[in-house]
Chains A and B, each alone.
Chain A
Amino acid sequence: MISKLSHSSIFVLDQNSARDFYVNKLGFNIIMDVAVGDKGNWLTVQPYDQSELQITLIPINTGLMFVGEIANQLTDLVKKGAFGFGIFETKDIYATHQELKDKGVEFIKPPKEGPSGIEAIFKDDSGNWFSLIQKTTEK
């Protein structure tokens, strides 16, 4: 039986820019940042309070798993915001929303109360979007 998810991938347009965004804007920790020849880095990050699941920031480089037209199509889709890669939790969404806005993170939707908690939507530097939620039971 499958016991857990250890890595999850996010496709990014520029790995250096993504590193800066996830580390300096979102405040994530770098777990591994290993150069693999000239093809890019094996770059994994984790949110502040997360200890197991690593998020791999995979550059959409032609010549890696994406070739030619597929790389171009995927780049277009990421830029157009076609991918929502996950839901991040926060202890206090209004403080986190304020902090990320101050750091220049673009919010598509501001915090709004719903049945499962208070939720907002933001984009990363590539165009991928994420939900940010403060669960109702948290506070």
Chain B
Amino acid sequence: MKPSSPRMHLYKQIVDAKLYIDDFYMNAIDLELIASRACISKFHFHRIFKACYNKTPHEYLTHLRIKHAKQLLSNGSPTPDVCLTVGFESLSSFCKLFKKKESVTPAEYRAMTLRQNKLYKHQPLNFIPNGYASYLGWE
């Protein structure tokens, strides 16, 4: 059954909160403040957010920061710059969390992806299924 109007209002609040995190992940985000702005308890906010996005707001924020960090590292940005740019306050906690999530340190990830990007640039067809590429006219 389609949610009632108050329920739809709640969805709107949760989506707004998620989009706020998407836009401002690099800032110090107070998730309790976001919950209070949505006029719902922190517990309720977390529960509904997790039901919608399969992650708590804090897990989602971390996921987003790591995702953007990976992008910046693969473009060659140094680890301390990336740490600050994506919103982590401490370099050591950023490195620890990154290693936990990605199984390599930010510096190792940066070196690995830069190497990979170089190969992509010079030998792109080595990384595409050849038969498919050939049929596409890319050989």
Chain A residues engaging chain B, CB cutoff 8 angstroms = 7, 29, 32, 34-37, 39, 42, 49, 58, 63-65, 91-92, 94-96, 98-99, 102, 111, 113, 139
Contact = CB atoms under 8 A, between A and B. Distances in A.
A104 to B, nearest CB: 12
Interface string B101-136: 000000000000000000011001101110011011
A75 to B, nearest CB: 16
**A contacts with B: majority SS:** mixed
B51 A91 contact: yes
B138 A91 contact: no
> Max chain B CB contacts within 10 Å: which of A39, A65, A139?
A65
B54 A91 contact: yes
Contact of A99 (B18, B120, B128): B18
B14 interface: yes
A64 B121 CA distance: 20
Interface residues of B, number: 29
B121 A65 contact: no
Interface of B: 1-3, 7-8, 11-12, 14-15, 18-19, 51-54, 67, 120-121, 124-125, 127-129, 132-133, 135-138
Contacts of B15: 95, 98-99, 102
A98 B12 contact: yes
Q: What 4 pairs across the A-B complex have the smallest Cβ distances?
A: A95-B52, A92-B52, A64-B137, A34-B120
A43 to B, nearest CB: 11
**B contacts with A: majority SS:** helix
B137 A65 contact: yes
Contacts of B138: 36-37, 39, 42, 64
Nearest to A56: B132
A111 B2 contact: yes
> Max chain A CB contacts within 10 Å: which of B12, B128, B136?
B136
Contact of A7 (B8, B14, B51, B129): B129
Given A95-B52, A99-B18, A111-B2, A39 B128 contact: no
A31 to B, nearest CB: 11
Contacts of A7: 129, 132
A34 B18 CA distance: 30
A94 B53 CA distance: 12
A36 B125 contact: yes
Given A39-B137, A58-B136, A95 B54 contact: no
Contacts of A29: 67
